[in-house]
Protein backbone atom coordinates (compact mmCIF):
# COMPACT_ATOMS: atom_id res chain seq x y z
CA UNK A 1 0.00 0.00 0.00
CA UNK A 2 1.30 3.45 -0.83
CA UNK A 3 -0.68 5.30 1.83
CA UNK A 4 2.57 6.37 3.47
CA UNK A 5 3.33 8.66 0.57
CA UNK A 6 0.37 10.92 1.27
CA UNK A 7 1.19 14.24 2.91
CA UNK A 8 -0.28 14.92 6.31
CA UNK A 9 -1.06 18.57 5.58
CA UNK A 10 -4.60 17.99 4.35
CA UNK A 11 -5.57 15.73 7.25
CA UNK A 12 -7.67 16.91 10.14
CA UNK A 13 -5.89 16.49 13.44
CA UNK A 14 -8.90 15.43 15.48
CA UNK A 15 -11.13 12.49 14.66
CA UNK A 16 -14.87 13.02 15.15
CA UNK A 17 -15.55 9.51 16.37
CA UNK A 18 -12.42 7.54 17.13
CA UNK A 19 -14.25 4.60 18.65
CA UNK A 20 -16.35 4.03 15.53
CA UNK A 21 -13.56 4.82 13.08
CA UNK A 22 -10.96 2.66 14.80
CA UNK A 23 -13.27 -0.34 14.92
CA UNK A 24 -14.00 0.17 11.23
CA UNK A 25 -10.28 0.31 10.42
CA UNK A 26 -9.69 -2.83 12.45
CA UNK A 27 -12.44 -4.67 10.57
CA UNK A 28 -10.85 -3.61 7.30
CA UNK A 29 -7.44 -4.89 8.43
CA UNK A 30 -9.07 -8.17 9.45
CA UNK A 31 -10.48 -8.52 5.94
CA UNK A 32 -14.04 -8.30 7.20
CA UNK A 33 -15.22 -5.38 5.05
CA UNK A 34 -16.42 -5.48 1.46
CA UNK A 35 -15.43 -2.60 -0.81
CA UNK A 36 -13.05 -1.39 1.87
CA UNK A 37 -10.49 0.18 -0.47
CA UNK A 38 -12.38 3.42 -1.10
CA UNK A 39 -13.40 3.89 2.54
CA UNK A 40 -9.85 3.29 3.64
CA UNK A 41 -8.36 5.66 1.10
CA UNK A 42 -10.65 8.47 2.17
CA UNK A 43 -10.16 7.91 5.90
CA UNK A 44 -6.38 7.77 5.65
CA UNK A 45 -6.20 10.82 3.42
CA UNK A 46 -8.42 12.99 5.59
CA UNK A 47 -7.86 12.07 9.22
CA UNK A 48 -4.52 12.03 11.04
CA UNK A 49 -5.63 9.93 14.07
CA UNK A 50 -7.15 7.34 11.70
CA UNK A 51 -3.98 7.35 9.62
CA UNK A 52 -1.82 6.74 12.69
CA UNK A 53 -4.14 4.14 14.15
CA UNK A 54 -4.24 2.20 10.89
CA UNK A 55 -0.47 2.00 10.64
CA UNK A 56 -0.08 1.12 14.30
CA UNK A 57 -2.63 -1.70 14.01
CA UNK A 58 -0.98 -2.92 10.84
CA UNK A 59 2.43 -2.98 12.54
CA UNK A 60 1.04 -4.92 15.51
CA UNK A 61 -0.55 -7.52 13.23
CA UNK A 62 2.72 -7.89 11.35
CA UNK A 63 4.79 -8.46 14.47
CA UNK A 64 2.23 -10.85 15.92
CA UNK A 65 2.34 -12.91 12.75
CA UNK A 66 6.06 -12.85 12.20
CA UNK A 67 7.55 -12.73 15.69
CA UNK A 68 5.25 -14.76 17.90
CA UNK A 69 7.18 -17.89 17.16
CA UNK A 70 5.26 -21.11 16.96
CA UNK A 71 5.80 -23.42 19.87
CA UNK A 72 7.69 -26.53 18.77
CA UNK A 73 5.37 -29.52 18.82
CA UNK A 74 6.73 -32.49 20.82
CA UNK A 75 7.69 -35.18 18.32
CA UNK A 76 5.97 -37.96 20.22
CA UNK A 77 2.59 -36.20 20.38
CA UNK A 78 1.22 -37.35 17.00
CA UNK A 79 2.33 -40.96 17.60
CA UNK A 80 0.86 -40.88 21.07
CA UNK A 81 -2.50 -39.72 19.69
CA UNK A 82 -2.50 -42.40 16.97
CA UNK A 83 -1.72 -45.06 19.57
CA UNK A 84 -4.63 -43.96 21.79
CA UNK A 85 -6.97 -43.99 18.79
CA UNK A 86 -5.86 -47.54 17.98
CA UNK A 87 -6.67 -48.53 21.55
CA UNK A 88 -10.26 -47.28 21.38
CA UNK A 89 -11.02 -48.58 17.89
The residues of the shown chain that bind another protein, judged by CB under 8 A, are: 18-19, 22-23, 26-27, 30-32, 49, 52-53, 55-65, 67-71, 73-74, 77-78, 80-81, 84-85, 88-89
CB of 80 to another protein, least distance (A): 6
How many angstroms separate the Cα of 68 from the Cα of each of 9, 19, 30, 60, 87?
36, 27, 18, 11, 36
Q: What value, to the nearest 5°, has the Cα angle with vertex 88 and ends 85 and 89?
A: 85
Q: Least distance (Å) from another protein to the CB of residue 9?
A: 20
Closer residue to another protein in complex, CB, 8/27: 27
For 69, list phi and psi in degrees, rounded to 5: -60, 145
Amino acid sequence: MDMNEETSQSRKLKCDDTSKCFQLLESILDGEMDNSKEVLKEKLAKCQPCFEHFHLEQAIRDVLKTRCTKQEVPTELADCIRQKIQDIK
